[in-house]
Amino acid sequence: MKLIILDRDGVINFDSAAFIKSPAEWKPIPGSPEAIARLNQAGYRVVVATNQSGVGRALFDMDTLNAIHEKMHKTVAAAGGRIDAVFYCPHAADANCDCRKPKPGMFERIAACYNLDLTSVPAIGDSLRDLQAAESSGALPMLVLTGKGEKTLADGGLPEDTLVFKDLAAAVDDLIS
């Protein structure tokens, strides 16, 4: 099985320093829904791994998070694609949980759910913590320059084998070419 792990905010949709707190605030990055459809057509199962500390901070509730994800699923479906699963960490940063990236807990859950070793599984993110979670689970870290990506690249300290792409569409072009 071919699997790919995507971060949500800054990779699939535009990010916000004030959090994405409603379906109305969730706006896809142009080309991202179509890139996910191309992944599906190339035989990839697409899963999302996203920190959603806004839940733990009481900025929005689980019903709202589910509504945001429903909009994401519908947007991707309208482009001819699908997201197979969404894994999320709802905890605030100070909760010291194992699932919040950069810790590998969410990636370990994905590996267990799919009964798969994540070695060399592409994992696309826009922040250092996305790349660190990928690296610690053996996945292939891929940075996109959308969202926080340009700042992440400028700050340095990326895992050694990190691949860098303009956006999700460019990363997908490279993967399926």
Q: Which residues are catalytic?
A: 7, 9
Strands 163-165 and 122-125: unpaired
Taking a C-beta distance cutoff of 8 angstroms, is the pair 113, 128 a contact?
no
Q: What are phi and psi of 84, to 5 degrees?
A: -75, -35
Q: Which residues, including other chains, have CB under 8 Å from residue 132's CB and lie 6 or more apart?
A: 101, 102, 141, 159
- H helix or E strand, kind and range, residue 130: helix 128-136
Q: Which residues pair with 2 in a beta bridge?
A: 44
How far apart are alpha carbons 129 and 13 in whole angstroms? Answer: 18
